[in-house]
């Protein structure tokens, strides 16, 4: 049930109404989201860290999969926009009593909620909700199965633009478990739309999807070769919970070959930045010395996530009435 197009994201006037996938979004939309996020960045320093844009609106964080940073930054972002926020996580929800996702969403919509932030282990869950709830309801995909995690990709793009000044001429490496990664899919769509010079995927062949080259990326399983000339290193978490069967030989061997150490990082450009969507498996896909080192922007990614999520929510919720 993975959705193949992003048409459902727009209303009949071509305005962005849901944020489900980056695939198919025009470059101007992405740039506009980044620009607006830039002006939200300074809000953390104000006496009152709130703007009244979503006053009187209710945002529901509907998380059918565990999450700390994504759910928390969505909550802070919504509160800084003055929305009321309700958090629902899998453990205490009706789904454990057999109620379907759609029924849960419909029940919450009947309480006059305005925006759903949805995470689910099934690809297409947020798409399903967006296509079945009334028109005034907005849906943001906060990660659906292996399909997409578009707000994570946008905060990554925001971090890259802040650190590197733009996308032109950049060579970006995405390293690790691409096969199970919804983050990687969204990153590839965003990076190609924003026009980087090259995207390289590095990882064991067992963790790289087949025919991924059709997305316009280069693939290698050699870290030295793959990291050469790279400006941005995007690490992925090894998702052991999603693996059935033997996809990696042993954790030690994986770290030896693909774990990002200072030695391996030296193959990249001297001013290359290191990113990771979190949570980090220290000593598995990345060494602590790199994760905590001066080229790591991992904590900036978290901070930037608030401004970017504020920007996306404001984009979806503004200008709802027909002129």
Q: Which lies closer to other proteins via its Cβ, residue 32 or residue 300? A: 32
Instruction: Output the smallest distance, CB 50 to other proteins, in A.
Output: 7
Quote the CA–CA distance of 323 and 244 in Å, as a whole number. 52
Q: Confirm or reject binding of residue 112 to other proteins (CB under 8 A).
A: no
46 binds other proteins (CB under 8 A): yes
Of 46-54, 66-74, 92-100, 126-134, the window that binds other proteins (rule: CB under 8 A) is 46-54
Q: Which of residues 50-69 bind other proteins (CB under 8 A)?
A: 50-53
Torsion of CA 149, 202, 195, 37, to 10 degrees: 40
DSSP per position, 283-308:
TTTB-HHHHTSTTB-HHHHHHHHHHH
Question: Between residues 112 and 240, which has the closer beta carbon with respect to other proteins?
Answer: 112
Number of residues counted as binding other proteins (CB under 8 A): 23
Minimum CB distance to other proteins smaller for 54 or for 265: 54
Q: How far apart are CA 91 and CA 79, in angstroms?
A: 23
Whole-number Å distance between alpha carbons of 215 and 196: 13
Read out DSSP for 239-284? -GGG--S--SS-HHHHHHHHSB-HHHHTTS-TT-EEE--S---BTT
Beta carbon of residue 162, minimum distance to other proteins (angstroms, whole number): 13
* CB 80 to other proteins: min, Å: 10
Q: Which string of x and - marks every residue 9-38 that binds other proteins (by CB under 8 A)?
A: ------x----------------x--xx-x
For residue 103, the minimal CB distance to other proteins (Å) is 29
Residue 39 sits in the site that holds other proteins (CB under 8 A)? yes
> Considering only 49-57, 64-72, 87-95, 215-223, which stretch makes contact with other proteins by CB under 8 A?
49-57
Give the 3-state secondary structure percentages of the chain, helix then strand then coil, rounded to 5.
Answer: 40, 15, 40
Whether residue 197 contacts residue 170, with contact meaning beta carbons closer than 8 Å, is answered with: yes
Q: Which of residues 288-317 bind other proteins (CB under 8 A)?
A: 314-315, 317
- Residues 6+ away with beta carbon under 8 Å from 209: 178, 179
CA distance 99 to 220: 44
If the CB atoms of residues 222 and 320 are measured against other proteins, the closer one turns out to be 320
Question: If residue 89 lies in a helix (H) or strand (E), which one and from where to where?
Answer: strand 84-89
- For other proteins, give the closer residue by CB, 45 or 68: 45
Residues that bind other proteins (CB under 8 A): 15, 32, 35-36, 38-39, 41-42, 46-48, 50-53, 314-315, 317-321, 323
């Amino acid at each position: 049930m993975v959705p193949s197009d992003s048409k459902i994201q727009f209303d009949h006037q071509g305005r962005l109404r849901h944020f489900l996938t980056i695939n198919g979004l025009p470059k101007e939309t992405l740039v506009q989201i980044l620009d607006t996020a830039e002006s939200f960045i300074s809000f953390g320093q104000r006496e009152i860290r709130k703007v009244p844009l979503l006053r009187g609106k209710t945002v529901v964080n509907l998380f059918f999969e565990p999450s700390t940073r994504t759910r928390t930054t969505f909550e802070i972002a919504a509160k800084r926009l003055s929305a009321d926020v309700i958090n629902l996580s899998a453990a205490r929800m009706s789904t454990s009593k057999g109620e379907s996702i759609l029924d849960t969403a419909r029940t919450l919509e009947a309480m006059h909620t305005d925006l759903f932030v949805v995470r689910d282990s099934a690809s297409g869950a947020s798409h399903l909700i967006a296509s079945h709830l009334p028109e005034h309801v907005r849906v943001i995909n906060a990660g659906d199965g292996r399909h997409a995690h578009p707000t994570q990709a946008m905060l990554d793009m925001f971090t890259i633009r802040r650190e590197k000044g733009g996308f032109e001429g950049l060579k970006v490496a995405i390293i690790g478990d691409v096969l199970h990664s919804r983050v990687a899919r969204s990153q590839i769509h965003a990076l190609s739309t924003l026009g980087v010079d090259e995207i390289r995927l590095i990882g064991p062949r067992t963790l790289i999807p087949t025919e991924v080259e059709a997305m316009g990326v280069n693939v290698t399983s050699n870290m030295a070769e793959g990291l050469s000339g790279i400006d941005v290193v995007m690490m992925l978490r090894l998702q052991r919970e999603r693996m059935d069967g033997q996809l990696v030989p042993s954790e030690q061997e994986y770290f030896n070959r693909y774990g990002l150490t200072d030695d391996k990082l030296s193959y990249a450009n001297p001013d290359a930045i290191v990113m990771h969507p979190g949570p980090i498996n220290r000593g598995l896909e990345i060494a602590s010395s790199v994760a905590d080192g001066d080229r790591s922007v991992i904590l900036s990614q978290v901070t930037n996530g608030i401004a970017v999520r504020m920007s996306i929510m404001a984009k979806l919720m503004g200008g709802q009435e027909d002129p």
